[in-house]
Amino acid sequence: MAMEKDSLLPILGTLYPWRRRIMYITVGAFVVSALLSLLLPNYYQGKTVFYAASQDLFKPEKVFGGGSTEMYYYGSGEDIDRILTVGNSHGIVDFLIDSFDLWSVYKIKPGTPKAKFKMRKAFRENFKILLTKQDALELTVEDVDPERAAAMANVATRMIDHEVKSIIKNSQISLAASYQRSINSKEKLMQNNLDTLVYYRAKTGIYHPAGQTEILATRVTEVTNSVEREKASLESLKKGSLSNKLRDSIQVIQARISGYDRELAILNGDDPTSNYSLKNFNKAKGKIELLESRYYRSYEQIGYDLEKLKLYNAAIDIDVPTLHVIEAAEVPLYKARPKRSVIVIACTIAAFLFSVATVLALESYRQMDWAALVRK
């Protein structure tokens, strides 16, 4: 019983009466698929292979040696994603469609409501950008004209390079413009600080706070010492007999003491109109130092920004590719598709299996006791 159950003889017995029909269907499918496959147009594949360039090649601090990290020449995931995004964008597709007049090739009439959508869809079926196992990018274009397929692949590669480069260049131009605006704003601020500094210097007479502080402090000490010395001399002269000559000397010393006292009064006084008062000087010195600090900081920052601006302007002028092309497209000598032998074999096998399955289903249907099933 087990042998009868596992045997294919019952199935072969069922198929045997239908052998001619199965053969006719299979042969017919073979002939029809062979004829139809001959009607299919030949498509040729233009292919370019390239690597993504690193964004480091566009960074001025990397290119001109100012960076502290190593510069990479081949791009990584972000650079690859950028190229894939640009390559599959409508801009690249529409440019190729219009440049090679693919409207007439695909026989789609432009100007209708869905014409562009249909054209893009039809072209994208023949346009691919894939990432290989070696992390290279492979761009392929299939077309019925081998020369056009190769030309479109090369043009698409150049357009992707141009578009990616434009994105990076526009970013650099925006950064350079931002630095320029920052410099202009800081220059105005620096000029305002300078004007204020000049005004307060003229008003207070303070042009070098540190140097003038030392000079005034030294002068106060010198004058004080001179007063004490002259007073000691005066007292010494008054103790002796006063001749006419000594009286003249005493008058001179008293005049000097009076001058020193007046100078001390000016140095230690709080007359707001005096530029040599230590009190006024100390009050105004902080303001002058603050203005000087602001001015010099603005000056240094502007100098730093100018150097950065020079780097970005230099980077904008650098013409480096965003793609490292390894293999440019050549005119293909052999078609890429259709694989006619594969189509014919697949259709023939499918027709044979379908006819066998149909016969088994019909025989199973005939052998079924439908009346018994209905009574149950």
| C-alpha dihedral, 270 to 273 to 277 to 278, nearest 10° | 80
Q: Residue 367: which pLDDT band, with cuts at 50, 70 and 90?
A: low
Percent of the chain, pLDDT > 90? 25
Dig out the tokens for 93 from the structure. 């597709």
Residue 95: predicted pLDDT: 94
Question: What is the C-alpha to C-alpha distance for residues 135 and 130, in angstroms, rounded to an integer?
Answer: 10
What's the Cα-to-Cα distance from 274 to each of 206, 267, 363, rounded to whole Å?
12, 9, 127
What pLDDT, on a 0 to 100 scale, did the predictor assign at position 129?
A: 94
pLDDT of residue 375: 55
Q: Give the range among 25-29, 85-89, 202-206, 265-269 with minimum mean pLDDT.
A: 265-269
pLDDT band at 299 (very low <50, low <70, confident <90, very high): confident
CA dist 357 and 364 (Å) reads 10
Q: Where in the chain is the domain with CATH 3.30.1890?
A: 40-178+318-360
Q: Check if the beta carbon of residue 213 is closer than 8 Å to that of residue 281.
A: yes
Beta-bridged to residue 74, according to DSSP, are 53
What are phi and psi for residue 40, nearest 5 degrees? -70, 135
40-178+318-360 maps to which CATH number? Answer: 3.30.1890
| Coil, helix or strand at residue 257 | helix
Give the model confidence (pLDDT) of 108-165 as tens digits: 988 887 899 999 999 999 999 999 988 899 999 999 999 999 999 999 999 999 999 8
Q: What whole-number percentage of the chain has pLDDT above 70? A: 71
For 45: left if phi > 0, alpha if psi spans -120 to 50, otherwise beta; the answer is: beta
Helical (H) or strand (E) element with 42 = none
Q: Is the pLDDT of residue 1 over 50?
A: no
Residue 294 reports pLDDT greater than 60:
yes
State how beta strands 127-131 and 137-143 pair: antiparallel
Helix axis angle for 146-204 and 90-99, nearest 10°, is 130
Question: Is 80 exceeded by the pLDDT of residue 87?
Answer: yes
Q: Which two tokens stand for residue 233?
A: 């001399």
**Residue 2: is its pLDDT beyond 60?**
no
How far out from the chain centre does Cα 303 lie?
25
How high does pLDDT run on average in the chain? 80
Q: Check residue 138 and give its pLDDT.
A: 95
Higher-confidence residue of 204 and 197: namely 197
